[in-house]
Structure 1
Amino acid sequence: MAASSPPSPTPTNARLHLPASTDPPSDANPPTPKVWLVFGATGHIGRSLVDAALSHGDTVTAVGRTRENTMAQMQGWHARCLGLLCDVRVRETVDAVIRRTIGAWGRVDIIVNCTGYGVIGACEDQDACDLRSQFETNFLGTLNIIQLSLPYFREAAAQRREHENAGRYLIFSSTSGALGVPGLGPYCATKYATEGLIESMLYEIDAFGIKATLVEPGHMRLDEATGLDDKVGDGAGVEGNAGTNHSASNSTSNNVKLKRYGHFLLKPPSAPYASPTAPAGHARRVVQWLGNRQPTSAVKSAELVWELGHCRYPPLRLLLGTFAVESVRDRLRSIIEEIEDWKHLSFPTAEEGGRRGKGDGGREDEGEGEEEGMEMEEEGEGDEEGGF
């Protein structure tokens, strides 16, 4: 990987659109104004999304992070933007933000969760505090938002017109929700959990006309101007310069000791995982290799997510960027190949066992097949009672 160079960024003048099958907004299908509630609005993708929504005439509540941002930082973004603070791990603060949004704008149409926290380091090196912080932010924080806002969306469903969506969730996941990444084990676990939560919930809420989409960005650039108050940053930098912005980590030298990157904390490796080629150091090496030359534009991605909020038929997943598409597709291919390699070990049903005995010829084989089928039938009854 070190011998290669990161892909060149896509020209910013190229305009991307959702496929026509989603019925996205267009000149022939003009969007109606929406009210957005964006958790994690001080991260780069969050600020880009807030700017995109405001530029298209929508109204936004932008929620910053308690103890990382101040109310002063959240003010003055735009006349149609309400700035608030919240800790998604604390249900009372989430509930207060939802209530204040509805009180200020009269309703909320789209709820976005861009919050996230990760620790880059070997699984063995991450202690209980690291694990708890990641799960409480990424998984339980998402669950808090959903559980506290769903009653409002369900009430809105009773007032909606036919074929009109009652509300929408846009939950930022990651390609780490589909891949196992060395150096990001617990973070991947939180994203796998979030993916399972949203996919399961989608079946439950579809009857109310409520939609949900998992947004999975690939490697995303952090150095683009968002058009909003870029002083509200993630505090990323190299060790010894924690107050500098993301561009401070551009160097790809092996001597660079990163302290934080976006919403990721880089944890020093223990001795068993400290060698230059240790698999557990993969995520750290990728960060140092890419610097701020990631191929996926946060600003262009935000435009697609804005369309996602206004389209009629949103997908369950929206993959953003070539890396996201290719890595997830390769992972799914490997799973299918593995299934094909091992499918001969599947256990036959009673009917299949009987047919196999007849095909081999002879009454003795037929009897063995039936006996085997009866045994498997009994085992199957036990499995059906005890599991899914």
Structure 2
Amino acid sequence: METRKVWFVTGASKGLGLTLVKKLLTQNYRVAATSRSVQSLIKELGKSSEDFLPLEMNLTDNENVKAAIGECINHFGQIDVVVNNAGYALIGTLEELSEQEVKSNFEVNVFGSLHVIRNVAPLFRNQKSGHIFNISSIGGYIGGFPGFGIYCSTKFAVAGFTEALADEMKAFNVHTTLLYPGYFRTNFLSQGSVQTASNPITAYKTAREMENAHLRELNGNQPNDPEKAADVLIALSQEENPPIHFFMGKDAYHYAKQKIALIQSTMAEHETLATSTDISNN
């Protein structure tokens, strides 16, 4: 029965994840929600019940992720929809950010989702059904934001492996959807959610301007509604043939169309030179 599907949502104690879980529960779905702190989930959503399972999960630990998925299966008997939502923004130029700052961002934003996929894939393959939502960002399609290069690169990575995953899982009747959200009015850019370079370099004026624009001007004034985003995810989960690529928000469409137009014009301008490499061209 459609309304009794089980959703497994990461990063569910705040932001889009929390909004989605609340909406799912009001619509009679069953939900396993994960966070680094189970108490934060209980505070926002309540204790474990027939319909809800709060799970403390360390996304960067594959065995811990495997155990959490096992708990979900033991509690509900199944998983039908996975939302890889957990992640955080890291602001800093490539020169500024330390090796550890970069690694930590990739550990959560990239490897965390891979841990979930790796451990839920056997279940989905065996039951010949399932839907995986991987949350990228419009920054996973356009990287031209000074100071956001590393964050964007993590989201580009999510986009890359999701495209492959979609083809890998197709034979098992498992749907895969890559979401590129624009700016949604959550606490994503708030203190405690976003991280900035420990050792900023004052010479990077453009990056500092972009950073300040996000943290001081855009934060709290994002144009998109997370409640409507949750509705969109639920609607996509109900489609018979959901899309692999899904840009979400007018701003996401604006940026994507800009890049597509730029690539198309650049390819047309340089086509003769670019295609001159064919070995048969003498």
The answer to whether TM tops 0.5 is: yes
1:325: Cα distance to partner? 0.8
The equivalent of 2:163 in structure 1 is: 199
Asked if 1:98 corresponds to 2:27, the answer is no
Q: Distance in 1 between matches of 2:195 and 2:39?
A: 17
What's the CA shift string for 1:36-87, capped at 9, x where partnerless? 0111111210011101111111000011124x95575366167411111111
Deviations 1:136-177 (A, max 9, x none): 1111111111111101111111xxxxxxxx011011110010
In structure 1, the partner of 2:195 is: 265
SS at match of 1:215: strand
**In 1, Cα distance between equivalents of 2:279 and 2:81:** 50
Task: Describe the SS at the equivalent of 2:171.
Answer: helix
Report if the CA contact (8 A) 1:122-1:281 is conserved. no
Say yes or no: does 1:211 pair with 2:175: yes
In 1: Cα distance, 2:249 partner to 2:47 partner: 28
| Amino acid across the alignment from 1:185 | G
Please give the secondary structure, in 2, of the residue aligned with 1:200: helix
Q: Which of 315, 324, 327 does residue 252 from structure 2 map onto? A: 324
Return the letter of the residue paired with 2:43.
Q
CA offset at residue 284 of structure 1?
3.3
Of 143, 160, 164, which aligns to 2:114? 143
SS of residue paired to 1:124: coil
Partner of 2:150: 186
Tell me how far 1:266 sits from its aligned partner.
2.6
| 1:122–1:184 Cα contact (<8 Å) kept | yes
CA separation of 1:72 and 1:301: change in aligned 2, threshold 3 A: closer
1:176 aligns with 2:100: no
Q: CA deviation at 1:287?
A: 3.1
Summarize deviations over 1:242-263 as a string: whole Å, max 9, x none: xxxx5xxxxxxxxxxxxx26x3
Q: Is the 8 A contact 2:7 2:30 kept in 1?
A: yes
Q: Distance in 2 between matches of 1:218 and 1:45?
A: 12
Is the 8 Å Cα contact of residues 167 and 210 (structure 1) preserved in structure 2?
A: yes
SS in structure 2 at match of 1:204: helix
CA distance in 1 between partners of 2:114 and 2:212 (Å): 29
The root-mean-square deviation of aligned C-alpha atoms, in Å, is 2.2
Listed as ranges, the gaps of 5+ residues in structure 1 are: 1-29, 158-165, 224-233, 237-245, 247-259, 354-371, 373-388
Q: Number of residues paired by the alignment?
A: 278
Task: Give the ranges of 4+ consecutive aligned residues of structure 1 lying more than 3 Å apart after TM superposition.
Answer: 68-75, 348-351
TM-score when normalising by structure 1: 0.67
SS at match of 1:115: coil
Matches of 2:119 and 2:181 in 1, distance apart? Answer: 26
- Bigger-Rg structure (1/2): 1
Distance 1:182 1:51 in 2: 35
Determine which of 291, 300, 304 is the counterpart of 2:228. 300
CA contact (8 A) 1:52 1:306 kept: no
Scaled by the length of structure 2, what TM-score is found? 0.91
CA distance in 1, matches of 2:16, 2:48: 17
> Partner residue of 1:241?
none
Alpha-carbon distance between aligned partners in 1 of 2:211 and 2:132, rounded to the nearest angstrom? 29
The CA deviation at 1:95 is: 0.6
Distance in structure 1 (CA, Å) of the matches to 2:80 and 2:103: 31
Q: Distance in 1 between matches of 2:92 and 2:183?
A: 18
